Amino acid sequence: MIKQNQEKKNQAKKLPDKRSSLSLIPKKSQPSLTSPTTKPRLEQPKLAQTILRKLDYDQGFHFYKSLGQYTGITATSLHEFESKLKIVDEQSILFHYPRGDFQKWIRKTLKDKKLAAQIDIANSNLSSTKKRENLLSKINSRLKELQMTN
């Protein structure tokens, strides 16, 4: 019995070290982040198409001045949302902005979590004019980014 245990110990010593065999496997080279040939990955083209798509009217963003007071303006895409935001009454912006309506529609309907998050962190203490400018700036930048991907 003792002899069998010693033989097992001796066999264990003869087995090759796993670490040394791993060093024989060539490592794959990975492109560096600073490499000029590597472009930063923006969005998946499919996601960009989803965000930029035209929606049915009932899924559009309907601008209101207050509860029950529809402005008659609806945006059915992010492009339309940007253009309608330029002309909609300031009262509508003051109604929707603090409720988070813009962010909810962008996040849930357009499926653009990134833009919704950018709008979420925008300063809500701004005047309606500044809020409009801030929203338009963020939307415009996002549209450019998405169009590069698409």
Query: Distance between CA atoms of 92 and 71, rounded to whole angstroms?
Result: 8
**CA pseudo-torsion sign 19, 24, 30, 32:** positive
The two three-digit tokens of residue 82, written as one number? 């940007």
Give tens-digit pLDDT for 59-98.
999 999 999 999 999 999 999 999 999 999 999 999 998 8
* Half-sphere CA count of 9, side-chain side, radius 13 A: 6
Q: Is 65 helix (H, G, I), strand (E, B) or coil?
A: strand
Query: What are the residue ranges spanned by the domains of the chain?
Result: 46-149
Predicted TM-score (pTM) of the model is 0.67
| Rounded CA separation 147/132 (Å) | 22
Instruction: Render pLDDT for 104-150 as a digit per residue (tens, 0 to 9).
Output: 999 999 999 999 999 876 666 777 788 899 999 999 999 999 988 76
